[in-house]
Amino acid sequence: MAKRKTKLATKMKKKWFMVLAPEIYKNTEIAEITAFEPQNLVGRSVQVSLMKITGIPKDQHKKVVFKIKDTQGEKALTEPWKLLLQEGFIQRASRRFKERILTILKIKAKDGKTVKLKLVTLVVSKLPRAVKTDLAKKIEASTREKVSKLPSSDLFAPMALDKLSMELKKEIKTIYPVNRIVVWKLTVI
């Protein structure tokens, strides 16, 4: 029995494949993974720090998960699947704020894919329930409007979520000036 396994193992050896980031990240080489055949890679996911791709130190707390969609020779082509901020970063960022408004949305993007967003709105002082409700409604409406106009892949661009957060913060200033809006998680369903 052991001889049989060694014969199969010597017959089929794993190969190394280079994983490339999508076009929005300029097809950067992000990892090397092994597989017996290229078609075995399709559907697998690869997680990497955004700092490794962009080279910007402030992106070190952001993680991007890519899903392999195709292979070309020894290279695996990916598409963005998830973007998330580390739990420790969110805990440290929200430590001094007394009010946290959590918003979870499922929105159909321009390209027809459904995107799930998790946003956290942080305010230093306590808010009355009516103000919190108005803020949550305005954030939801504005986010739905903005995300539905974009293809899902554009949301994964390096500064897209920061830009979305800043625009939301400006829009809800009329209701109550919040200190920070953070897009915590982004997933293409």
Tokens of 92: 């440290």
- Read off the pLDDT of residues 107-145 as tens digits, 9 standing for 90 and up: 999 999 999 999 999 999 999 999 999 999 999 999 999
- Read off the pLDDT of residues 137-170 as tens digits, 9 standing for 90 and up: 999 999 999 999 999 999 998 889 999 999 999 9
Contacts of residue 20, Cβ cutoff 8 Å, sequence gap at least 6:
27, 28, 29, 30, 75, 76, 77, 78
Q: Please report which helix (H) or strand (E) contains residue 106, including its range.
A: strand 99-108
Rounded Cα gap, residues 46 and 146, in angstroms:
28
Rounded Cα gap, residues 94 and 90, in angstroms:
6
**Residue located via tokens 């109550």:** 176
Rounded Cα gap, residues 18 and 34, in angstroms:
9
Walk me through the domains of the chain, giving residue ranges and CATH numbers.
Answer: 14-85 (no CATH), 87-188 (3.30.479.30)
pTM here is 0.84
